Amino acid sequence: MRRTFFYPLRHLAAAAAIGFAAVTGGPAMAQTAPGASEAAAYTGLHAAAQKGDVAKIERLAATRADLNTRDGNGRTPIHVAAFAKQRDAIRALARAGADINLLDKDRYDGVTIASVADDEETLRVLLASGASAKLVTSRYDGTALIAAAHLGHDGVVKQLIAAGAPLDHVNNLHWTAAIESIVLSNGGPRHQESLRALIAAGANLQLSDRQGNTPLQLAKSRGYREMVQMLEQAGAR
């Protein structure tokens, strides 16, 4: 099934407040996995990555095939393997010398792909294979950490923090990971845990959105009592 990543429609009001009219999404703003017909048409390293065929990857690498070859959406075999959760393929490609940090046409890397999918094991393999948690990705000039905080993928958030992801990166919506864990959340347990992890790691809680609202003010305005409490305990204003 084709998987896309958009800022959720339920957050249109929040986005409108900052003038981001394009939040409803479109093909250029999506993180898009290969569709079934696209995957079926793959050949070479893309097909091997999609299927997790390590032996074929090793054979092709031995013939000096282009390990970073791209499909029509700019996906390398690493991207394809990340979408397909083919972890052994990721390991094989990395061992053979593939560039594990390239971005596809929509500016996503393997780390962000796994983070958005809440795929902690694939993320663990990517990071262990040398992938960076520090890249600026997506049309929002964000990071994998911002995307994970937005979605409340708390385990992913913790992995990315441990891997040195920038805690205070500000995307082109003028939001940090801490802000997105609030303004693009439902205030539930996984978003709370994501925010808690960011606080414990030392995220700057005084950085504000374009209107000058801090994470504490944003949590108060949404009635997220648990988030308000943890921010106040951390000394946020």
Q: One-letter amino acid identity for 226?
A: E
Q: Which of 87, 107, 132 lies at the terminal end of a domain, its last residue?
A: 132
Q: What is the mean pLDDT of residues 10-14?
A: 41
Query: Which among 79, 5, 95, 85 is positioned nearest to 42, based on CA atoms?
Result: 79
Could you please report the per-residue DSSP string of 186-213?
Answer: -S-HHHHHHHHHHHHHT--TT---TTS-
Instruction: Let me know whether 69 and 156 are in one domain.
Output: no
Prediction pTM value: 0.88
Could you give the CA distance from residue 184 to residue 9 in angstroms, rounded to a whole number?
10
The tally of domains found in the chain comes to 2
CA atoms within 13 A on the CB side of 66: 7
Could you give the CA distance from residue 50 to residue 149 in angstroms, rounded to a whole number?
28
Phi, psi (rounded to 5 degrees) for 3:
-110, 130
Residue-level pLDDT at 42: 98
Residue-level pLDDT at 24: 30
For residue range 17-50, what is the model confidence (pLDDT) as tens digits?
333 333 333 333 468 899 999 999 999 999 999 9
Could you give the CA distance from residue 190 to residue 142 in angstroms, rounded to a whole number?
20
Residue-level pLDDT at 31: 83
Q: Which of 111, 132, 153 lies at the terminal end of a domain, its last residue?
A: 132
Instruction: Let me know whether 87 and 119 are in one domain.
Output: yes
CATH, residue 214: 1.25.40.20
Which one has a higher pLDDT value, 28 or 123?
A: 123
Q: What is the mean pLDDT of residues 92-115?
A: 97
Query: Which among 111, 53, 58 is positioned nearest to 86, based on CA atoms?
Result: 53
Instruction: Let me know whether 148 and 230 are in one domain.
Output: yes
For residue range 147-181, what is the model confidence (pLDDT) as tens digits?
999 999 999 999 999 999 999 999 999 999 999 99
Query: Which among 111, 107, 179, 101 is positioned nearest to 141, based on CA atoms?
Result: 107
Residue-level pLDDT at 113: 97
pLDDT of 3 over the 90 cut: no
Residue 121, burial from CB neighbour count under 10 angstroms (0-12, 13-18, 19+) = exposed
Residue 54 within a domain? yes
Cβ(174)–Cβ(158) under 8 Å?
no
Residue 1 within a domain? no
What is the average pLDDT score of the chain? Answer: 90
Residue-level pLDDT at 141: 97
Query: Which among 161, 53, 66, 170 is positioned nearest to 115, based on CA atoms?
Result: 161
Could you give the CA distance from residue 100 to residue 144 in angstroms, rounded to a whole number?
15
Q: Which two tokens stand for residue 202?
A: 């030392």
Range of the domain at 62: 31-132
Residue-level pLDDT at 12: 38
Adjacent-strand bridge partners of 137 = 142
Could you give the CA distance from residue 221 to residue 105 in angstroms, rounded to a whole number?
37
Please tell me the least confidently modeled range out of 10-14, 177-181, 200-204, 215-219: 10-14
Residue 137 within a domain? no
Residue-level pLDDT at 30: 65
